Structure 1
Amino acid sequence: MRVLITGGSGLIGSELVKQMATRDHDIVVLTRSREKTSQKLSHLSNYMIECIESLDDYHDLNPFDAVINLAGEPIADKRWTKKQKDIICHSRWDITEKIVSLFHASASPPGIFISASAVGFYGDQQSHPIDEELNVYHGEFSHQVCAKWEEIAMRAESDLTRVCLLRTGVVLSKNGGALQKMLPPYRLGLGGPIGNGHQYMPWIHMSDMIRGILFLLETNYAQGPFNLCAPHPVSGKKFSQALASTLHRPHFLFVPKWVIQLLMGEASALLLDSIRAKPKKLTEMGFEFHFPHIESALKQILNT
């Protein structure tokens, strides 16, 4: 299968490229820096991987069997100033619009378009369990970003192309991401929940994230939004306790809500919103999680 992947040098993308390349797929990676991405993927030099910096040379997507769109400015790395919000939005919307236009220009378009989104689509839902059937309309920035992102991606849907949307939770990995940022204070015995710790955190092990994407790629009746998160979301307090326990460290501190709001501004919603998302569609289609519980996931990642 010949597959175009955007965001192939990111946390999820680089692992996906690795898994797909070793399964003999022919991969084309769209990246902002061909040189940096080629270096990052140099351990895969024996496989069919091509790096490109623009889609301008493509007039259609006829050469591809599938497109996986993971591109986007990291949403949690900086405060949400007006400028940063524009960067976050357009880094997602513009490339997706370009891809969709190429789908429409194709006589034989790829059979599937998998496009990233996030559980931030749902906004703060307190302790209510939610799945993909929930219709949400509100003014939170995370929802606005994801809602338009998904709406653009769905324009690629046709009789020849199915579209799958990845509403991703917090991806836990030993190679980066949120967990790696949390580890230093926890290893010093200074870790603890944020605020009252009651807010739910939808999470997923990197292995299940990649397996989920491949499952959707290979399941020809899969379409629409999918929650890419483990079947057992946990509260911030339980996650914090599990992490401290896995590291054999004490757990008695907490980070006040006002401190996070002071440090992150509006972006603090990423840590304070409660999203008890369940992967209903995936599990009903027969997908089995290797790491459904937070304790086993953390133990495997941290090799304890």
Structure 2
Amino acid sequence: MRILLTGGTGLIGQALCQHWQRQGHELWVWSREPHKVAALCSGARGIAHLHELEGTSLDAVVNLAGAPIADRPWTASRRQVLWRSRVDLTRTLVDWMAQQPQPPRVLLSGSAVGWYGDRGDAWLDESSPAGATDFGSQLCIAWEQEAEHARRFGVRVALVRTAPVLAPRGGMLARLLPPFKLGLGGRLGDGQQWMPWIHLDDQVRLMDHLLHHADCSGPFNACAPEAVRNATFTQTLATALHRPAWLPAPAWALRIALGEMSVLLLGGQRLRPQRAQAAGFAWQHPTLAGALDQLLHPPGA
């Protein structure tokens, strides 16, 4: 297949490029720094502008672009950056797809579990309504709406609502490991908020599954089937590292430091990956303890 990726130099994008390069697919990555693509994205060619693909017939587009959402507080200027890098970029991408003589058959478009907002203890699946109560949720809603427009010209659209990804390098786990290795980790707030997660390998395998199954359309929760609270997550991580976890971060301190962005840490979603399960996807790392053991103590290490 001929595949165009946005966000290809990110954590998930790099892993997808490695996976699809091994399968023999042709890969292009639309990037602000195309000269870095060859080194970061195995087997991919970097492009700075979509018109560089003129005359190339693509089979699929994978849209993962987006400035990091948790790097800094959501000031007015930062919200603009986040909106442009997701919503506006997706609009540009879909408009370009519509102009092609033969549009790609499928669009896999990124989203996040923040689409649901902070929903307490309620069980959620892909049929649940959106949150729309905070900026993160509103951002995901608008992001998905732009991607959905590709259906108007016959493209199959799958929306991947990704949970925090656990990876050997990068992502959430890389931020947590330094304090937890020093025994300085702990729950966030009261620790009762639900914390969906997914192993990077399963994220890649799920997206590959969605790419190759023509009946997979609409939203899919990219999360492990085991739902855990933050307190369970932090204790499981500390146990895997043989360290204590007795330094909680007070909710009031997180709200003062982060403002509305604190919902990413103090809010949660009790998610089921119902549609992925119904589509026949099988997880390699369905439990948190098993996933962390594989990441922190890989065979042969």
Q: Name the TM tier (shorter chain).
A: over 0.9
Stretch of structure 1 that moved more, 51-60 or 103-112: 51-60
Question: Residue 59 of structure 1 contacts residue 102 of structure 1 at CA under 8 Å; is this kept in 2?
Answer: no
Aligned partner letter, 1:7: G
**Is there any run of 5+ residues in structure 1 with no aligned partner, and where?**
none
Equivalence map 1:1-304=2 (5 Å) = 1-41=1-41, 44=42, 47=43, 49-58=44-53, 63-136=57-130, 138-158=132-152, 160-303=154-297
| Cα distance in 1, alignment partners of residues 51 and 88 from structure 2 | 13
The range that moved more, 101-110 or 219-228, is: 101-110
* CA shift for structure 1 position 137: 5.0
Cα distance, 1:95 vs structure 2: 1.6
Q: CA deviation at 1:226?
A: 0.5
* Alpha carbons of structure 1 residues 131 and 76: separation in structure 2 relative to 1, 3 Å: same
Look up the equivalent residue of 1:54 and give its one-letter code: H
**What is the alpha-carbon distance in structure 1 between the residues aligned to residue 158 and residue 184 of structure 2?**
40
Q: What secondary structure is seen at the aligned counterpart in 2 of 1:27? A: strand
Quick check: 16-25 or 135-144, which moved more? Answer: 135-144
Tell me the distance in 1 between the aligned counterparts of 2:154 and 2:68.
32
Shift in Å at residue 160 of structure 1?
A: 3.3
Deviation at 1:148, TM superposition (A): 0.6
Q: Alignment length, in residue pairs?
A: 298
Determine the C-alpha separation between the residues in 2 that align with 1:102 and 1:240.
44
CA distance in 2, matches of 1:159, 1:56: 20
Which letter does structure 2 place at the counterpart of 1:8?
G
1:232/1:98 Cα in 2 relative to 1: closer, same or farther (>3 Å)? same
Q: Secondary structure at the match of 1:227?
A: strand
Is 293-302 or 104-113 further displaced after alignment?
A: 104-113
Conservation of the 8 A alpha-carbon contact between 2:118 and 2:131: no
1:184 deviation in Å? 0.8
Alignment check: 8 A CA contact 2:125 2:271 kept = yes
8 Å contact kept, 1:110–1:160: no
Distance in 2 (alpha carbons) for counterparts of 1:17 and 1:173: 15
CA distance in structure 2 between the aligned counterparts of 1:161 and 1:34, rounded to whole angstroms = 26
- Structure 2: gaps spanning 5 or more residues: none
Corresponding residue SS for 2:82: helix
Equivalent AA in structure 2 for residue 55 of structure 1: L
d(CA) in 1 for partners of 2:79, 2:85: 10
Write the deviation string for residues 68-118 of structure 1: whole angstroms up to 9, x where unpaired: 000000000011100000100110112211111122112321110000000
Residue identity opposite 2:40 in structure 1 = K
Shift, 1:159, TM fit: 6.5
- In structure 1, C-alpha distance between the alignment counterparts of 2:85 and 2:245, rounded to whole Å: 38
Q: Which amino acid aligns with 2:49?
A: S
Q: Assess if the C-alpha contact under 8 Å between 1:124 and 1:273 holds in 2.
A: yes
Give the Cα–Cα distance (whole angstroms) in 2 for the partners of residues 296 and 183 of structure 1.
Answer: 17
Query: How does the TM-score come out when normalised to structure 1?
Result: 0.95
TM-score, structure 2 normalization: 0.96
Q: Which segment drifts farther, 130-139 or 193-202? A: 130-139
Identity across matched positions, percent:
40
* Counterpart AA for 1:170: P
Provide the rounded CA distance (Å) in 1 between the counterparts of 2:38 and 2:254: 37
Which letter does structure 2 place at the counterpart of 1:146? Answer: C
SS at match of 1:110: coil
